[in-house]
Amino acid sequence: MKTVMKVAAFGTWGGDSITVMMVFDMMLQDRNFYSEWATRLRNWWTGRNRIISFWVIMIVLSTLVLLAIGSDSVSWDKYNGYFFHTDEFDRAFLASVITLFDLMIVIQDWEFPHFTTNKDVKLVGTNSVDLRIKTLRKVLNRPFWDVHVEGKWFNYGIISIVMCLDMNMLKNQVLYRPQDYGQFVEPPENTIWNIGSQDRANDPATILNLDNLQPEDYRMNARYNDFSSASLGATAIPAIFGVVMFVFLYWRYNKDMNLAAASRRANSEKELAQISASETNHSSSRKLSTDLANSDVVAVDSERSDVESRNAPARDADSLNIQARGIEDSTRSGE
């Protein structure tokens, strides 16, 4: 159980630290809002400086945290001198507030809920603006199975995972009972004692009380006051409030964007209709001009034919007179 809790503690650190660095990184990348804030740091936080700084900070801090957790050198009870303690209500409420803050990180984004922006936000710790996974397309031979995740969607996807872990912590605190974890409560302060041996903690025959203490057992400063289910359920109010606000704002702004998209689509269709009507009118006018021109040509040809038909008898008579004069001249020259 102790090992599981250490892994959970380090996993919580990993998720929260990445979340902090991700938000910090996006703030320094964004030049559209509060452009006068931390200008020197923003100018420096680019290219290789940005990538190296992220990985150095994460590796150094994660190493220190891992050593502190793994070596048991950090004990909350040791450092606070048993002065400050928490019970299951306090811990559940803290988990609920953390979940609320996770939701607020996503809601406060300028482009929520669609995260559509002309600026390419790079993935935290990388110099790429998106993540492409083409394995499914190659393995399954499906050209359209191409996973493409942009910067903000990838970053907030990490927060979604952290959010699920925090909600699970909230659930565990609400359902927590010491006897389920090899622990028991010492009255009257309701201090929690932890069984130090895994074998004894897993043995159903182990009697959990002060009369059966062993040298490996130890006392913690945490309390268990056995609050009612209704009281522990009330600690989830901040998390529930965050979920309701998330759903409402998503519905509200998604509706506005859908209306705006529908308006743009209607205007585009209207413009296309006007262009089509204009082209139709232009085509009709051009066709009418062509028809009129053709009718004028036909009329000219018709008039020319009439003139030629009227002049045909005169031309025939002239040709007959010319032929007669030619015959007479031939006769005279023969005589």
Other Cβ atoms less than 10 A from the Cβ of 245: the count is 14
Looking up tokens 């492409």 gives: 132
Report the alpha-carbon distance of residue 145 to residue 35 in Å, rounded. Answer: 39
Q: What is the pLDDT of residues 183-204, one digit of tens each?
A: 888 888 888 888 877 778 777 7
Chain-wide mean pLDDT for the chain? 75
Nearest Cα residue to 22 out of 187, 133, 131, 159: 159
Q: What is the pLDDT of residues 252-306, one digit of tens each?
A: 887 666 665 566 666 666 677 777 666 666 666 666 566 555 555 445 455 555 5
Which of helix, strand or coil describes residue 288?
A: helix
pTM, rounded to two decimals? 0.64
Q: Where are the domains of the chain?
A: 1-85+96-171
| 335 confidence band (pLDDT: 50, 70, 90) | very low
Report the alpha-carbon distance of residue 159 to residue 105 in Å, rounded. Answer: 8
Q: What is the pLDDT of residues 103-151, one digit of tens each?
A: 888 888 777 777 766 556 777 788 877 666 666 566 666 665 666 666 6
Report the alpha-carbon distance of residue 92 to residue 175 in Å, rounded. Answer: 9
Report the alpha-carbon distance of residue 160 to residue 169 in Å, rounded. Answer: 14
Q: What is the pLDDT of residues 295-321, one digit of tens each?
A: 554 454 555 555 455 555 555 555 555
pLDDT at residue 217, as a whole number? 82
Q: Are 234 and 93 in contact (CB under 8 A)?
A: no
